[in-house]
Amino acid sequence: MNGASMPPPGRLRAGVLLSRVMSRCALEPRPPGKRWLVAGLGNPGLPGTRHSVGMAVLGQLAQRLGVAETWARDRRCAADVALASLGDAQLVLLRPRRLMNANGRSVARAVELFGLTAEEVYLVHDELDKPLGKLALKLGGSARGHNGVRSCISCLNSNAMPRLRVGIGRPIHADAVQAYVLGCFSPAEQELLPPLLERATDLLLDHIRKRSGGPLLGP
């Protein structure tokens, strides 16, 4: 017996199921506007950092939609993926496994696999120019200096993606920005995170329901 570890049976089954579902989704026709991709931008392996707050929102979103235990790695797009239903719509939740500066490669590959357009992709990311606790939904436009968004715009050749900007605040000194975004939330900030993630999830789901033509009430 070699020293390689096997993934837990539940995760292995989830991965096989997800691969089959993704293959079927990529091939089957679908009503336009009824499938959405929601990507949480960040750095893999750095949970709890300000720069990866988009991934934290995706975790809360998966929990709300009852798919938190179904995340599975998809090597084709180098990301963790979970599929969820929202009324008649299907949500593809995606957390890239590439670094922030290359998140767009994972997002663009998933867009290709699921037959989506840039307008059907939501990007969730941190925002230095908003204080912690503030949220804003931006419908397309420039990257505003965010490297993950810039990567997505470049790889999708479009800036039409809606973005949920999650405020993390900005440090006083400009030369401290890199250490600040890659650092973890302080204990005081961590107390603000649970309601912030809940509100971010509400905002996303309401916007997606509205665009899907469904009622605003739901999970």
Catalytic residue, chosen from 51, 125, 146, 173, is 51
Task: Put the strands of the sheet holding 121-127 in their side by side order.
Answer: 72-74, 79-86, 89-96, 35-40, 121-127, 162-167, 135-139
Q: Is 51 a catalytic residue?
A: yes
Output 25-32 pairs: Cβ under 8 A, ≥24 positions apart: 25/83, 25/90, 25/113, 25/114, 25/115, 26/113, 26/114, 26/115, 30/90, 30/115
Secondary structure element (H or E) that encloses residue 126, with its range: strand 121-127
Q: For residue 158, what are the contacts with CB-CB under 8 A and spacing of at least 6?
A: 118
Task: Give the active site residues.
Answer: 51
